[in-house]
Each structure stands twice: as structure tokens, then as C-alpha cells.
Chain A
Amino acid sequence: MERKKDNSAIKELIVPVTAVFIGLVLGGILMTLTGVNAIEGYKALIMGCFGRLEYVSETIVYTTPLIFTGLAIALGFRCGLFNIGCEGQYIVGLIGAAVVGAMDLGLPTFIHLPLTMLSGMACGAIWASVPGLLKAKFGIHEVVNSIMMNYIALYLSHYLVNGPIKDPGITSPYSREILDTAKLWRFFGQNSPIRVNSGIIIAIAAALFVYYLLFKTTIGYQIRAVGFNPEAARYGGISVPTNIVAAMFISGALAGLAGAVQIMGIQFKFLDIFAFQGYGLDGIAVALVGKSHPLGVLPSALLFGILQRGSQTMQMLAGVPKETIGIMQGVIIIIVAAEGIIKGWLPIRKILGTDKKAAGKEVGRA
């Protein structure tokens, strides 16, 4: 991935950067159409993200789960898998952490906290393993199955929080609050409204971990070989089914970790959800713009974190529907997917030096 050659970085980045730029322009047009001054809109976005310490904190809070789901999807891509089930894995991650975090087992923090986190990861991993196994054993495309698993997770969580894990002490469909021993450290005090917490550190660590895993270990070698060419991997003695399940498992664990960190650092309890939170879908944009590279996911997640957080303030301050961001996101994914649209552009071709190359890899075979 990160080969030398001076302009290779530019080549890697030019598509996502241009896509984001087009997305922003499009957002501006949409704002103008709804009668909002685009400059004002974006100002509201920036102010909402960085205007005050709390806002910066919120931006980080929005970014954190996106790092996890972005990593989850990027890792899937590397194995040739499209884990669109992050949404469901996130939900079961929330539940897993909420349940274990609320258990009063008399455990000290250094055991209870990792245990809670592991519980969320395990739930996500198991949830993702189902479509993984179905793909590995029966060859069923993981996309349809993981979406089905999303809906199952949604209804399951609804059932659980209205029954088995509901906090009997209150009328609202909430689970019990997790114990202090399972809470992450909030930098500005556990009861401070500034919610930024050690979750972001865990997220960055996760990115480094995935980077190491993918490029420096035999496991990553196997996963990438399967992703690039499963036939050749099989020929080389690498088990394709095993690696598909493994990649889905790790990917699901990352998405589950997103849920766990959300519970342990932000929510402290599971709150009934009626629709998907969107972290799973946002993760796709994060992974694509980050070129499926764990270290590319970090800035990419920050970008979408800013947009997500900003969309709230834009709606409040400037009256821009927050869905504007979603439209931009969809367009950005489409453009990154069809990079030919950008690469075919004359000024871009000049930068890339592909002006005359065009197609035709196949060289005069006879």
C-alpha cells in the first residue's frame, strides 16, 4: 500500500479528496436551494464543531464510533467482504456491554472494564460470524445476510430493552446503568457534560492494531491474499473459508467495540432505538474515503465526524436539514466507487500522468 514513489500518495488521495470537495459543493447547492446562505451554513458547521471546548469534545464523540465502523468495513474490504452489517453488530455491541457493565459482580475496574468491552466485542463478532459462516460454507453473498442480521438485531434489542434487560426502576425502556467500574475515563470528570473520553484513545489504538495486523502479520497476509485472489490463496494453502470467517469475526468485533465504547463512555445504559443509528452506513463512506487503509480511516472518520456533528448544529443554527450531510455522503461514496469519473477528468489526468495511457493493459498479444 504505502510504497515510495513521490506522487503515489497524490494518486491515492486525489480521488477521495476530489470526491469530498464535490460533496461539499453539492451540500452548498442544497443549502442554497433551501434558502440558506451556504457560507452561513458551513460557518454553522465549523462553529458547531470547533467553536467551544464542548463542541470539540462532541466532534470527537461523533468521530469515535466512525473510526471503529470504518476500520471494520475497511478490514472486510481487504478480505473481499462487504460487511454492511456493522449497524447490527454495533447494536448487539451496545447490548453486550450494557448487560455486562451493569452486572454487580464485585469486580475491580481493571477486570470489569475490559470484560465489559470484550463482551460488546464478542457480541459483535458473533453477530458478524453468521453471515461470514454462511458465505464461507455456502457461498451466499454476505451483503443480503448481514442486512437481515441488522434488522434482527434491531428488533431483538427492542424486545430485550422492553423486557428482559429493562431497568425495572423506571418506566422508560432503558437498561440499568452500568457500574462505575465499567465506565471509561472522561477527561473532564465523570459527571462533566464534556463527554470526550478515553474511547478515542482506544479507537486510535484499534487503527494502529488493524494496521499492524493487516500489513505486518501472517494473519493479515492471509486475509489480503484471500481478498485479492481467493483462488490463488487456496492454491497457496491458505484456507479461504477460515479467513472469511476470521475477517468477519474481527470486523464484527470492531463494530461491537464501537457499541461497547459508546455505552461505557457516553450512554452508560442501553436506550431503546427505533431506527438504525447510521454508524454502519457511515462507516462505508469512512472506509472508502480512507482507501480501506487503517491509517487513512482516521482522518476520514474525523471528516465524517465533523460532518455528522456539524449537521446537528447546521439544523439548529442555520435551519439546514441534517439529511443534507447524508446526501453528500451518498454522493461521495458513489464518486469514490466510480473513480473513473474523476480520473477521466482532464486536469486530474494531467496530475496523475495518465493522459495518454487510457486503457489497454493487454500488450500486443498474438
Chain B
Amino acid sequence: MSRLGKGINWNRLVRSRAFWLGAALVVLITVFSVNSIRSMGGEMFSYLVIDFFSTGIFMATPLILTSIGAVFSERSGVVNIGLEGMMLIGAFFGVMVSYFTGSAWLGVLGGMIAGGLTAALHAYVCISHHANQTVSGVAINVFALALTGFLLKAVFHRAGQTDRVTKLANWIMPDFFRNIPIIGDVLGSNTPPVYIALLLVVAAQVVLFHTPLGLRIRACGEHPEAADTVGINVTGTRYFCVILSGVLAGLSGVTLSLGQLSLFKEAMTDGRGYIAIAAMIFGKWTPLGAFLASLFFGLATGFKFISQSWNMTSIPTDFLLMLPYILTMLALAGFVGRLTPPAASGLPYRRRGSV
């Protein structure tokens, strides 16, 4: 026993992210296998794998979009807890614009603009007025919840949810792509934001780590005063990043309301904005990491849908609904002291002594 245990640094292991991810995935897959494989043939299995991943990416898309926005905001030095509210506002305005114009794509635009404007408020309060960023973010969420409820009544004259509107049509990939096994099945035809999100991951990673803009953004989040002394406009950069995060959160909201559904429901974001922030942390403040973490949480969120096709009625739905939240907490706890956010994130910057 002692000899076996010697080679393994338990402390390290428990601290490692991979360990927790792996453990969580093992739990997921075991639950799957036990409940379903025995009741189905092997051919069903590949169908189920595809189902698993398509649901996963579908559910992950809003998280990917929002968490990448969160990466930009925090990398520039502004904590954005208000993403939840910005998503909600994006979701609502997407539907509203689509409702009045009949065009889902105009709806997307509307949602993104609305999200960006909400973020501009957060930016104004936090960057120009040095407010507590967490408090401001929560206020944005309170505000967004009420505003969308208010407009629901004022515009649609109903409570709970809007009328159905034109949703985004799926994009269908060329045949050669759809013929690739599994990947083709999962990504062959899907709602447009899925593709946008995947492209965005690559673009964001390149921008943040290989362009002057990215270098400057990171400088602002680490040492704003140093950035200032070499002529980087700290305020401007931070505004840009916060507003960008709002635009992406708006797009993410639209993904929920016009990509996945075709209507807006009150409080439909269901804490996804917060989960996206967890994904950003879990992904170590990088777009690629945030993407992988979002995928993981997406699978967890999609679990309730998958469980139906997998014949898992024995587990009460409520527990399946809890799963993403529990996994989020477990994932964060798995970090143990490894969290190193940008040094200046959450701290307002003011040029000392400036009048």
C-alpha cells in the first residue's frame, strides 16, 4: 500500500485540473453506460455518442461566447459579473427586433447592440467612476431581469414569455464535411452561432496572444500604470474589452432565444452567465481554455436532455437540473490555489494625482 502510494503525489493530484475534469467525466460516462448500454445494441451506441456531443456543443455555444467575452473583460482588468444580465438583455432584444422586423439576423444584431450598450453602462460605472465591479455587475443583473420583464409586458403585453418569432435557420455544411464520421454528424448542420463561436475561439486566441491589441489588453489587466506610461489608453482599452464582452454576451443571449428556441422566456439565462465566468476561471483566462471548460459545462447542461434519449428516468429530473451547478462548483474547487487572475483585475485605475 505504502509502496504503491509513494510514486503519486496525492496533494498534487487533488490539485490538478485534469484530475477533476477526468473524475467528473468518468462519473458522467459511468452513469450513461450503466443505465443505457445494457438496454441497447452497439449500433445505438454510436448514435448516442453523436447525440451526446451534438447536445453538448449546442448547449456549450452560449457559454463559449460569454466566457470568451469574460476573458477579454478580465484580461483588461474589469470583472464582469453582469454578463448574466447582458445575456438576458441580448436574448430579449434579439426576439423583439426579430418580432418587429421578421428577420432573425437583424434580431442577432439587435441583441448584440443591446448587450453592448448594457456593458457600456457597466464600463462607465466601473472604469470612469471606479465603482465596485462586483456590485455593479450584480446591479446590472437585477436591472436586466426587471427591464426584460417590464418590456415583456410593455411590448408583448404578456407575462412569462413572448410570442414565437422567426428564429435563425440552421446552416448546412457542404457534403464532404457532413460525411466525416462523428464530426460531420455533430457539426454538419447546426444553428449559426455554433460556427461563429468556434471561429471566435481561434480568433480570440490569436488576438489576445499574438497581436499588439492583445498585448496591450493584457498589459492593462496586469499593470495599468505601466501601460499608461508607454502611451496605451487604459481607459479606452478597458471600455473596448468590456463592451466587447457585452456584445458577445448579447450574441450568446440571442443564441438561446433565436438559435435554440424562437422566443424569450423570463429569466431564461438560468445562471449561464455565472457558469461562463466559472468557465473562464477554469480555462485560466485564455479563450482556448474557456472553450474547453464551456464544452465540459455544456455537456453537463445538456445532460437533462440526453438523459431522456438515454432512458434514464430513474434519476429525478431535479437532480439532473442541479448537475451543471454542482459540477461548476466542483470544477472551481479542483483548482485549489492555482487561480491567478490578471494582477489588476477588479481594481479601478486612476492616474495618481491627476486632476
Contacts and interface: CB of A to CB of B under 8 A. Distances in A.
A and B: interacting chains: yes
Interface of A: 30, 33-34, 82, 84, 130, 134, 138-140, 143-145, 147-152, 155-156, 158-159, 162-163, 275-276, 281, 284-285, 288, 321, 323-327, 329-331, 333-334, 337-341, 344, 358-360, 362
A170 B325 CA distance: 32
B355 interface: yes
B66 interface: no
A334 B82 CA distance: 11
6 contacts: A30-B150, A145-B329, A329-B142, A329-B146, A331-B139, A337-B139
A334 B150 contact: no
Contacts of B130: 338, 340
B339 A139 contact: yes
A151 B146 contact: no
Contacts of A139: 337, 339
Nearest to B148: A323
Contact of A155 (B132, B145, B153, B321): B321
A359 B332 contact: no
Contact of B353 (A325, A337, A360): A360
Interface residues of B, number: 54
A148 B274 contact: yes
B335 interface: yes
B140 A334 contact: yes
A341 B129 CA distance: 6
B136 A358 contact: no
Interface string B268-302: 00110011011001000000000000000000000
Interface in B123-170: 125-126, 129-132, 134-136, 138-147, 149-150, 153-154
Contacts of B81: 143
B263 to A, nearest CB: 17
Contacts of B149: 321, 323, 326
Contacts, number: 160
- Interface of B (DSSP majority class): helix
Q: Is the interface of A mostly helix, strand, loop or mixed?
A: helix
Interface string B303-336: 0000000000000101101100110110011011
Given A138-B333, A285-B142, A359-B350, A323 B147 contact: yes
A275 B336 contact: no
B285 to A, nearest CB: 13
B346 to A, nearest CB: 10
A154 to B, nearest CB: 9
B130 to A, nearest CB: 6
B143 A330 contact: yes
A344 B129 CA distance: 9
Given A138-B336, A323-B150, A340 B328 contact: no
B197 interface: no
A326 to B, nearest CB: 3
Interface in B247-282: 266-267, 270-271, 274-275, 277-278, 281
Contacts of B326: 148, 152
A151 B143 contact: no
B274 A144 contact: yes
B354 interface: yes
B210 interface: no
A140 B353 contact: no
A75 to B, nearest CB: 16
A151 B271 contact: yes
B121 interface: yes
A140 B146 contact: no
A218 to B, nearest CB: 28
The 3 lowest CB-CB distance pairs between A and B, nearest first, are A326-B146, A330-B143, A338-B131
Contact of B332 (A134, A326, A333, A337): A134
A34 B328 contact: no
Nearest to B147: A327
Contact of B271 (A148, A331, A337, A359): A148
B322 A340 contact: no
Contacts of A344: 129
A360 B154 CA distance: 47
Contact of A340 (B129, B134, B278, B339): B129
